[in-house]
Structure 1
Amino acid sequence: MILDDFIVATKTGLFCRYGDFYLDPKEIVKYAVISHAHGDHAIGGNLNVYCTEATALFMKHRYKKFAGGEFHLKAYEETFVLNGVKISFIPAGHILGSAMILMEYEGIRYLYTGDYKLQPDDTCEPIEYVTADVLITETTFADPNTRHPAAEEEILKLNSTQSNIMLGAYALGKCQRLISLMNKYCPEKRILVHHSMMPFVKIYEQKGIDMGKYEMYDRKVMKNNHTHMVYLVPPMVFRSYFRAINVIRVFATGWKHLQNNNEIQLYVSDHADWEDILYTIGQVKPTQVWTNHGDGVQLKNHYEKSLVVKLLT
């Protein structure tokens, strides 16, 4: 029997009361099971952290000695038991080391997706599917009007100009994916990377990912070369350089409102869109869907007559 309160949303995060642990907690807890290393899912300071090796490396770089107490590193599909709940990590395809979290209790399987994507990405493990009785899915882009174009087609937009480009992107996941895409589809571009992004790039290489050609940003290089330079910067730097001259401003995101005032609109998202969410539900074959991280109302309406959809947040 599915337990309606197996996972409950609290101010601290998603809590599994039967296993006494949190999924991606927002505050420090005793037992934290972490899906991936983005800051809105992985905070520092938890006493016991269960995650993949790549996630731990990213967290330890970001939070240094405050990353957490004891890290319990788990390989994909390795089973472990936490306070009576059997848990395993399944590749989520979001960023390197990202995982969906499969929990089994009293014969029922609950699958928490964290963030996930279906699009191909040479810089992280591809998503894998398992069946579950309950799918707890993120619904960041759960809107029938949202369709993410293929990243391989979007990146070609950068070839439409010879001018230098300031390319804003998240430092972990998006940055590395863009470097890989540009090396493959924009061979004339010379890629310069902001110093704050470089440690994450190096961890990707440490984990065996071939990033291709890139170099640390050098102001003189950018100043002395007026064509085909791409300067990758994190969001805060992108926003602070809003008056930058002699560059075309581009920000890589799936959010339309963040594309405002950019000379080239680059729709590259690391999340599932509407069709991807429906496809994932079809693969997992749940009898119930619980939604999180976004508005699940349209998903609830879509499955009104065929599937139980519960909004966790």
Structure 2
Amino acid sequence: MILADFITVTPTGLYCIYGDFYLDPQQPVKEAVVSHAHGDHAIGGSQNVYCTAATATFMKHRYRKFAAVDFFTKSYHESFKIKEVTITFYSAGHILGSAQVLMEYKGVKYLYTGDYKIEPDNTCEPFEFVEADVLITESTFANPETKHPSPVTEIEKLNETNANIMLGAYALGKSQRIIQLLNEHCPTKNVMVHHSIMPFVKIYEDYGVKVGNYKMYDRKVMKNNHEHQVYIVPPMVFHSYHKAINVVRAFASGWKNLQQQNGISLYISDHADWDAILKTIEQVHPKQVWTLHGDGKLLKDYFKDKLEVKILNG
């Protein structure tokens, strides 16, 4: 029997009363199961953190000694128990080390996707489809009007300009993917990386991910060469240099509002779009779908009278 209260939304985060643990808590807790290392899912200060090895490494870099009291790193497909709930991680395809969390309790399987994408990405482990009774899916882009274009087609837009490009990208995950895409599809570009992004690139390489060629940002290079330079910067730097001269601006994101007032739109997302969410539901074969991180109303309407869809976040 599916338990309606197996996962509940609390001010601290998603709570599983039957295992007495939190999924991606937003405040320090005793038992934290962390899907991936982005700051809106992984905070520092919890006592026991269960995650993949890469996620632990990213958290240790970001939060230093406050990352956690203890890390319990688990491989994909390795099952472990917290109280009476059996947990297994499966790749989520979002960033390096990102995991879906399969929770089994009294014969019922609950699958929490965390953030995910099902498209290929050479910089992280591919998404795995896992069957479950309840699919707890992110719904960031759960809108039929949202269809992510091919990342290759998007990155190839940068070949249309010889001018230097200031490219905004999240430091963890997106930046490494962009470096790899630039190397593969924009061979005339010289890739330079902001110093705050470099440690994450090095961690990717330590885990065997080949992102290709890049250099630490050099102001002289950018100043003396007015063509073919791509400077990858984190969002805060990108927005603070909104009046930067002699560069074309672009920001790698699935969000339309982040494309406004840029010289080039760059719709490269690491989240599932409408079609990908539908395909995931089809492959998981759930009896119920619970939605998080976004608006699940359109999914609820789409599956009306066919599949129970419950919106957890409001």
> Take 1:203 and 1:294, find their aligned partners in 2: how far apart are those partners?
30
Shift of 1:207: 0.1
2:17 aligned with 1:17: yes
Q: What are the equivalent positions in structure 2 for 1:1-313 lying under 5 Å apart?
A: 1-313=1-313
> Take 1:167 and 1:31, find their aligned partners in 2: how far apart are those partners?
38
Shift of 1:119: 1.3
Q: TM-score, normalised by structure 1?
A: 1.00
State the secondary structure of the residue aligned to 1:265: coil
Identical counterparts, % of pairs: 66
CA contact (8 A) 1:100 1:111 kept: yes
For residue 53 of structure 1, what is the amino acid of its counterpart?
A: A
State the secondary structure of the residue aligned to 1:210: coil
For residue 238 of structure 1, what is the amino acid of its counterpart?
A: F
> Take 1:278 and 1:211, find their aligned partners in 2: how far apart are those partners?
30
| 1:55-91 Cα deviation digits (max 9, x unpaired) | 0000000000110110000000100000110000000
Unaligned residue ranges in structure 2 (runs of 5+): none
| 1:75-128 Cα deviation digits (max 9, x unpaired) | 001000001100000000000000000000000000000000011100000000
For residue 222 of structure 1, what is the amino acid of its counterpart?
A: M
> Take 1:28 and 1:70, find their aligned partners in 2: how far apart are those partners?
13
State the secondary structure of the residue aligned to 1:43: coil
State the secondary structure of the residue aligned to 1:266: coil
For residue 183 of structure 1, what is the amino acid of its counterpart?
A: N
For residue 270 of structure 2, what is the amino acid of its counterpart?
A: D
> Take 1:275 and 1:18, find their aligned partners in 2: how far apart are those partners?
33
> Take 1:119 and 1:286, find their aligned partners in 2: how far apart are those partners?
21
Number of residue pairs matched? 313
> Take 1:130 and 1:246, find their aligned partners in 2: how far apart are those partners?
48
RMSD: 0.4
CA contact (8 A) 1:48 1:69 kept: yes
State the secondary structure of the residue aligned to 1:250: strand
Shift of 1:287: 0.3
> Take 1:243 and 1:265, find their aligned partners in 2: how far apart are those partners?
17
Unaligned residue ranges in structure 1 (runs of 5+): none
State the secondary structure of the residue aligned to 2:265: strand
Shift of 1:257: 1.0
CA contact (8 A) 1:119 1:150 kept: no
Shift of 1:211: 1.1
